[in-house]
Amino acid sequence: MTTAPADSHEQDEHRERRELGRLLPPPPHPGLPPGRLGTTREFLLNEIDRSHRASAPTARRRVRLVLTAAVATAAVAVVVATQGSGAPGERTPPATTASVQLLNRVAQVAYTQSQAQPRASQYTYVKTVGHSTSLSEKSDGSMQRDTITQNREDWTPVDGDRPGLQRSSGGDRQTPALHGGTLNSPTYAFLADLPTDPQALLKRIYADADLNHGPGSGSTTGPDQEAFTTIGDLLRSSVAPPRVSAALYRAAGRIPGVVTVDDAVDAAGRHGVAVARVHGGERSEWIFDRRSLRLLGERTVLLEDGPWGRTGDEVTSIAVVGRGIVDAAGQTPGTRSNP
C-alpha cells in the first residue's frame, strides 16, 4: 500500500522549521543568572497553565483606510485558529509551527527583560527611522508614487494626562494628551492594564476590531490581518511592561496565516529573521535580531505588481533604533534633559 504524499502546507512547514533551526542560535542552556532564572521559571509555568485554559477567540472584522501602504522555547506552544481572513467560506491555515516557536522564544526574552516601574510623571521614548510610500493621482489620471521619510522621535507621558512631543525633520510638534490611551493610541499605563494571558489579550484585540470595523463596514482587510497589524503597531511604537510585550508576542502566534521569513532587512540595513503574514498581495514582516531576538523593525513587501510598485518593492520599512523611559519630553535615555 502506498502512502499518500504530505500536502504542500505540511511540506512548507517542515522546510520552515528546518530553516528556522539553521538560522537561529539554540535556546539558552541552564546557567542563567539567579534573577533571570526565577522569571524564566515563572514564564514557563504560566505558559503551561494558560495552554490548558486557551480557547479560540471570536474572529472579528476591521478595516484600516490609509494613504501610505502601510524565542528560549516555552514548555508548551498552543496554536488556536480563529476564523479565516475574511473571504466567505475561506479558512486560513493556523500559524506555522516555526512561527509559533520563534514568537515563543521572542516572548521569553521580552518577559525576562529588567525594567523599572516608571513614574506617572515620566515619558516613554521611541525613536524610529524609515520610509513609507504614498500614492496620488496626477492630473492626467495616472498614479504617482512618492517615498516619504519617516524618521522621528516620540515622547508619550506614562499616564497620558499631559501633552507629548514628536520630533522629526519638520521640527518639534506637541501631541495631544491621550487621557488613558487606547489600542490605537496607547500609553504605558494603558498597556500595563492589558491582560497578560495571550488568549484573553487576543480576544480584547479582536473585540476592538469588531467595535470599530464590524460586519457591514465594507472591510477587505479582515479580522486576522487587523489583529496582526494592531499587535505589530503596539510592539513597534510603544514601550510596554515586559509581561505585556511577552503576551503580545504569544497572542500573535494564535493568529492564522502567520509564517516566518528566513531573511529580512530593516530600514537601518540590519538583517534578521522575520515573522510575517500575507494579505492582499503584501507581506507584513516583523524583523528580529537572530541572536538577541530583539525587535529590529518591520516592513511591508509587495508580492505582486500593482499601483504601489513592483514585486519585491518595500512599501514601508521602519526600524526601531531607540527606546526607553525618560524624565522629560526632549530627553533621550542616558542623557539629561535636552528640550
Residue type, 163: P
Q: What percent of the chain has pLDDT over 90?
A: 59
Specify the pLDDT at position 16: 59
Nine-digit cell at 321? 533604533
Specify the pLDDT at position 12: 61
Specify the pLDDT at position 213: 55
Better pLDDT: 15 or 149: 149
pLDDT band at 23 (very low <50, low <70, confident <90, very high): low
Specify the pLDDT at position 63: 29
For the chain, give every domain's residue range. Answer: 8-326
> What is the per-residue pLDDT across 300-310, written as a single tens digit (0 to 9) for each?
999 999 888 99
pLDDT band at 22 (very low <50, low <70, confident <90, very high): low
> Quick check: 133 and 69 in contact, CB under 8 A?
yes
> Quick check: 102 and 288 in contact, CB under 8 A?
yes
DSSP result, 45-107: HHHHHHHHH--PPPP-------SS------S---------SSSTT--PPPPPHHHHHHHHHHH
Q: How far is CA 85 from the centre of its chain?
A: 18
pLDDT band at 3 (very low <50, low <70, confident <90, very high): very low
User: Among the listed ranges 31-35, 89-93, 173-177, 281-285, which one has the minimum average pLDDT value?
Assistant: 31-35
User: Among the listed ranges 11-20, 26-35, 247-256, 264-273, which one has the minimum average pLDDT value?
Assistant: 26-35
Q: Which of 216, 214, 207, 200 is nearest to 250 (CA)?
A: 200
Say if pTM beats, i.e. exceeds, 0.85. no
